Amino acid sequence: MYGAILAKRAPTKALGASRVLGLSRSSGASGCRLLTTFPGHMTAPCYKAASPGPAHAAATRYRTSTPTITARTSPASARTYASNATMSASDVKVKVGDTIPQGTFTYIPYTPELENHSACGIPVKLNTDEWKGKKVVLVSVPGAFTPTCHANHVPPFLEKYDEFKKKGVDVIAIVAANDAFVLSGWARFLGLKDKILALSDPNARWSAQLGLAQDLSALDFGTRTKRYALVIDDLQVKYVGVEPERGVTVSGADAILAAL
Protein backbone atom coordinates (compact mmCIF):
# COMPACT_ATOMS: atom_id res chain seq x y z
CA MET A 1 0.00 0.00 0.00
CA TYR A 2 2.67 2.47 1.03
CA GLY A 3 4.81 1.54 -1.96
CA ALA A 4 1.93 2.48 -4.25
CA ILE A 5 1.48 5.82 -2.48
CA LEU A 6 5.18 6.55 -2.85
CA ALA A 7 5.15 5.73 -6.55
CA LYS A 8 2.25 8.09 -7.10
CA ARG A 9 3.32 11.05 -4.98
CA ALA A 10 7.12 10.86 -4.85
CA PRO A 11 8.56 8.57 -7.54
CA THR A 12 11.97 7.06 -6.90
CA LYS A 13 13.35 9.06 -9.82
CA ALA A 14 12.48 12.31 -8.03
CA LEU A 15 14.83 11.41 -5.21
CA GLY A 16 17.94 11.62 -7.40
CA ALA A 17 20.79 9.40 -6.26
CA SER A 18 19.05 8.14 -3.13
CA ARG A 19 17.74 4.58 -2.97
CA VAL A 20 14.20 4.20 -1.64
CA LEU A 21 13.76 1.17 0.60
CA GLY A 22 10.10 1.74 1.45
CA LEU A 23 7.68 3.37 3.83
CA SER A 24 6.44 2.22 7.20
CA ARG A 25 3.99 3.51 9.74
CA SER A 26 5.46 5.18 12.81
CA SER A 27 4.14 3.46 15.91
CA GLY A 28 1.67 5.64 17.76
CA ALA A 29 2.00 8.57 15.34
CA SER A 30 0.42 9.65 12.11
CA GLY A 31 2.36 9.77 8.87
CA CYS A 32 5.00 7.56 7.31
CA ARG A 33 8.70 6.99 7.69
CA LEU A 34 10.74 7.41 4.50
CA LEU A 35 13.69 5.05 4.32
CA THR A 36 16.63 5.62 1.99
CA THR A 37 20.08 4.14 1.67
CA PHE A 38 23.34 5.51 0.26
CA PRO A 39 26.49 3.75 -0.97
CA GLY A 40 28.68 5.90 1.27
CA HIS A 41 28.59 8.81 3.69
CA MET A 42 29.75 12.12 2.15
CA THR A 43 30.51 10.56 -1.23
CA ALA A 44 29.74 12.86 -4.14
CA PRO A 45 26.36 11.49 -5.40
CA CYS A 46 25.07 10.78 -1.89
CA TYR A 47 26.19 14.16 -0.55
CA LYS A 48 24.33 15.89 -3.38
CA ALA A 49 21.24 13.74 -2.97
CA ALA A 50 21.03 14.52 0.73
CA SER A 51 21.15 18.28 0.14
CA PRO A 52 17.98 20.42 0.14
CA GLY A 53 16.38 20.89 -3.26
CA PRO A 54 13.36 19.81 -5.33
CA ALA A 55 13.91 16.18 -4.47
CA HIS A 56 14.16 17.08 -0.80
CA ALA A 57 10.87 18.97 -1.00
CA ALA A 58 9.14 15.93 -2.49
CA ALA A 59 10.45 13.68 0.23
CA THR A 60 9.44 16.01 3.06
CA ARG A 61 5.75 15.67 2.18
CA TYR A 62 5.96 12.62 4.39
CA ARG A 63 6.36 12.82 8.15
CA THR A 64 9.79 11.59 9.20
CA SER A 65 10.51 10.09 12.56
CA THR A 66 13.15 11.45 14.92
CA PRO A 67 15.99 9.18 16.08
CA THR A 68 15.32 7.32 19.30
CA ILE A 69 17.78 6.28 21.97
CA THR A 70 18.63 2.62 21.56
CA ALA A 71 21.10 0.22 23.10
CA ARG A 72 23.65 1.29 20.50
CA THR A 73 23.10 5.05 20.60
CA SER A 74 22.88 5.57 24.36
CA PRO A 75 25.75 6.82 26.57
CA ALA A 76 25.99 3.27 27.92
CA SER A 77 26.81 2.15 24.39
CA ALA A 78 29.83 4.43 24.34
CA ARG A 79 31.09 2.81 27.52
CA THR A 80 30.58 -0.66 26.03
CA TYR A 81 32.43 0.43 22.90
CA ALA A 82 35.35 1.70 24.94
CA SER A 83 35.56 -1.45 27.05
CA ASN A 84 35.60 -3.62 23.94
CA ALA A 85 38.53 -1.61 22.59
CA THR A 86 40.92 -2.83 25.30
CA MET A 87 43.89 -4.97 24.45
CA SER A 88 46.88 -6.76 25.93
CA ALA A 89 50.49 -5.76 25.37
CA SER A 90 51.17 -9.19 23.84
CA ASP A 91 49.06 -8.25 20.80
CA VAL A 92 51.45 -5.48 19.76
CA LYS A 93 54.03 -6.45 17.15
CA VAL A 94 55.73 -3.10 16.56
CA LYS A 95 58.48 -1.85 18.86
CA VAL A 96 60.90 1.05 19.10
CA GLY A 97 63.69 0.69 16.55
CA ASP A 98 61.57 -1.09 13.94
CA THR A 99 61.25 0.18 10.39
CA ILE A 100 57.58 0.75 9.62
CA PRO A 101 56.01 -1.58 7.05
CA GLN A 102 55.33 -0.17 3.62
CA GLY A 103 51.73 0.82 3.15
CA THR A 104 49.30 3.13 1.40
CA PHE A 105 46.67 5.35 2.97
CA THR A 106 43.98 7.41 1.25
CA TYR A 107 42.90 10.92 2.18
CA ILE A 108 41.27 14.03 0.76
CA PRO A 109 43.68 17.01 0.70
CA TYR A 110 42.31 20.12 2.32
CA THR A 111 41.29 23.03 0.10
CA PRO A 112 39.29 26.14 1.08
CA GLU A 113 36.53 25.03 -1.31
CA LEU A 114 35.67 22.24 1.11
CA GLU A 115 34.69 24.66 3.85
CA ASN A 116 31.18 25.46 2.58
CA HIS A 117 30.37 21.72 2.34
CA SER A 118 29.22 22.02 -1.28
CA ALA A 119 32.19 19.92 -2.43
CA CYS A 120 33.50 16.63 -1.11
CA GLY A 121 36.95 16.42 -2.69
CA ILE A 122 38.68 13.55 -4.44
CA PRO A 123 40.67 10.94 -2.45
CA VAL A 124 44.36 10.56 -3.23
CA LYS A 125 46.91 8.03 -2.05
CA LEU A 126 49.75 8.58 0.39
CA ASN A 127 52.52 6.01 0.51
CA THR A 128 54.57 5.59 3.68
CA ASP A 129 57.72 6.01 1.55
CA GLU A 130 56.84 9.72 1.42
CA TRP A 131 57.82 9.92 5.10
CA LYS A 132 61.44 9.09 4.41
CA GLY A 133 63.62 11.78 5.99
CA LYS A 134 60.66 13.19 7.96
CA LYS A 135 59.56 13.14 11.57
CA VAL A 136 55.95 11.97 11.75
CA VAL A 137 53.47 11.76 14.61
CA LEU A 138 50.85 9.17 13.68
CA VAL A 139 47.79 8.99 15.91
CA SER A 140 45.29 6.18 15.46
CA VAL A 141 41.67 6.28 16.63
CA PRO A 142 39.00 3.55 16.47
CA GLY A 143 36.54 5.75 14.61
CA ALA A 144 35.65 9.23 13.40
CA PHE A 145 32.93 11.03 15.36
CA THR A 146 33.12 8.51 18.23
CA PRO A 147 33.02 10.01 21.75
CA THR A 148 36.59 9.72 23.07
CA CYS A 149 38.22 10.26 19.67
CA HIS A 150 36.10 13.31 18.90
CA ALA A 151 36.14 15.07 22.27
CA ASN A 152 39.37 14.03 23.99
CA HIS A 153 41.92 12.48 21.67
CA VAL A 154 42.25 14.55 18.50
CA PRO A 155 41.55 18.19 19.57
CA PRO A 156 44.70 18.56 21.76
CA PHE A 157 46.91 17.80 18.75
CA LEU A 158 45.43 20.80 16.96
CA GLU A 159 45.64 22.97 20.08
CA LYS A 160 49.31 22.09 20.58
CA TYR A 161 50.20 22.10 16.88
CA ASP A 162 52.82 24.85 17.27
CA GLU A 163 54.52 22.93 20.09
CA PHE A 164 54.86 19.89 17.85
CA LYS A 165 56.37 22.01 15.08
CA LYS A 166 58.91 23.46 17.53
CA LYS A 167 59.92 19.89 18.34
CA GLY A 168 60.76 19.32 14.68
CA VAL A 169 57.67 17.35 13.70
CA ASP A 170 57.07 17.52 9.95
CA VAL A 171 53.76 15.64 9.76
CA ILE A 172 50.91 15.05 12.19
CA ALA A 173 48.40 12.51 10.92
CA ILE A 174 45.25 10.97 12.35
CA VAL A 175 44.50 7.49 11.04
CA ALA A 176 41.32 5.39 11.24
CA ALA A 177 39.62 2.62 9.29
CA ASN A 178 36.82 4.95 8.15
CA ASP A 179 36.79 5.82 4.45
CA ALA A 180 38.45 9.00 3.18
CA PHE A 181 35.15 10.85 2.72
CA VAL A 182 34.08 10.32 6.32
CA LEU A 183 37.51 11.33 7.61
CA SER A 184 37.51 14.45 5.45
CA GLY A 185 34.12 15.44 6.85
CA TRP A 186 35.35 14.83 10.39
CA ALA A 187 38.52 16.83 9.77
CA ARG A 188 36.44 19.77 8.54
CA PHE A 189 34.23 19.57 11.61
CA LEU A 190 37.29 19.59 13.89
CA GLY A 191 38.96 22.41 11.94
CA LEU A 192 42.11 20.45 11.12
CA LYS A 193 42.44 22.15 7.72
CA ASP A 194 45.92 21.61 6.24
CA LYS A 195 47.65 21.24 9.61
CA ILE A 196 46.75 17.64 10.40
CA LEU A 197 46.13 14.87 7.87
CA ALA A 198 43.14 12.55 8.26
CA LEU A 199 44.23 9.24 6.73
CA SER A 200 42.11 6.23 5.91
CA ASP A 201 43.62 2.83 6.68
CA PRO A 202 41.06 0.68 4.82
CA ASN A 203 40.01 -2.33 6.89
CA ALA A 204 42.93 -1.43 9.22
CA ARG A 205 45.26 -3.36 6.92
CA TRP A 206 48.36 -1.31 7.69
CA SER A 207 47.65 -1.25 11.42
CA ALA A 208 47.14 -5.02 11.37
CA GLN A 209 50.77 -5.43 10.28
CA LEU A 210 51.74 -3.75 13.56
CA GLY A 211 49.36 -5.87 15.63
CA LEU A 212 47.22 -2.78 16.12
CA ALA A 213 43.90 -3.73 14.50
CA GLN A 214 40.84 -4.94 16.37
CA ASP A 215 37.67 -6.80 15.50
CA LEU A 216 34.61 -4.83 16.63
CA SER A 217 32.12 -6.88 14.63
CA ALA A 218 30.15 -7.55 17.81
CA LEU A 219 29.35 -3.83 17.84
CA ASP A 220 28.63 -3.77 14.09
CA PHE A 221 31.81 -1.72 13.47
CA GLY A 222 33.82 -4.42 11.70
CA THR A 223 37.61 -4.24 11.75
CA ARG A 224 38.99 -1.02 13.21
CA THR A 225 42.33 0.44 14.18
CA LYS A 226 43.21 0.42 17.86
CA ARG A 227 43.92 3.59 19.82
CA TYR A 228 47.65 4.16 19.54
CA ALA A 229 50.32 6.68 18.61
CA LEU A 230 53.69 6.34 16.90
CA VAL A 231 56.56 8.74 16.48
CA ILE A 232 58.33 7.87 13.24
CA ASP A 233 61.65 9.43 12.23
CA ASP A 234 63.02 8.59 8.77
CA LEU A 235 60.71 5.53 8.68
CA GLN A 236 62.02 4.24 12.03
CA VAL A 237 59.78 3.92 15.07
CA LYS A 238 60.96 6.12 17.95
CA TYR A 239 57.91 5.91 20.21
CA VAL A 240 55.02 3.49 20.63
CA GLY A 241 52.04 4.38 22.79
CA VAL A 242 49.18 1.88 22.80
CA GLU A 243 46.19 2.39 25.07
CA PRO A 244 45.64 -0.72 27.23
CA GLU A 245 42.11 0.33 28.18
CA ARG A 246 39.55 3.10 27.71
CA GLY A 247 40.69 6.71 27.82
CA VAL A 248 43.64 8.64 26.41
CA THR A 249 47.02 8.47 28.14
CA VAL A 250 50.08 7.18 26.28
CA SER A 251 48.67 8.08 22.86
CA GLY A 252 47.71 11.62 23.83
CA ALA A 253 49.32 14.88 22.77
CA ASP A 254 51.01 15.56 26.11
CA ALA A 255 52.58 12.09 26.29
CA ILE A 256 53.99 12.40 22.78
CA LEU A 257 55.33 15.91 23.34
CA ALA A 258 57.14 14.65 26.44
CA ALA A 259 58.70 11.84 24.40
CA LEU A 260 59.95 14.05 21.55
Query: Which residue intervals of 118-199 are DSSP H helices?
Result: 147-148, 155-159, 161-166, 180-190
Active-site choice (32, 46, 120, 149): 149
Phi/psi of residue 258, each to 5°?
A: -65, -25
Q: Count Cβ neighbours within 10 Å for each residue of 220-238 and write b for 16 or more, e otherwise.
A: ebebbbbbbbbbbbebebb
Pairwise CA distance, residues 186 & 22, whole Å: 30
Phi/psi of residue 251, each to 5°?
A: -105, 5
Q: 3-state DSSP call for residue 174? A: strand
Within 13 Å of residue 239, how many CA atoms lie on the same side as its CB? 20
Amino acid at 48: K
Task: Report the candidate in 199, 207, 209, 200 with the shortest Cα–Cα distance to residue 227.
Answer: 207
DSSP structural state of residue 99: B
Pairwise CA distance, residues 106 & 117, whole Å: 20
Decide if 149 is catalytic: yes
Distances (CA, A) of 229 to 40, 90, 159, 177, 260: 28, 17, 17, 15, 12
Distances (CA, A) of 127 to 143, 203, 210, 228: 21, 16, 16, 20
Active site residues: 149
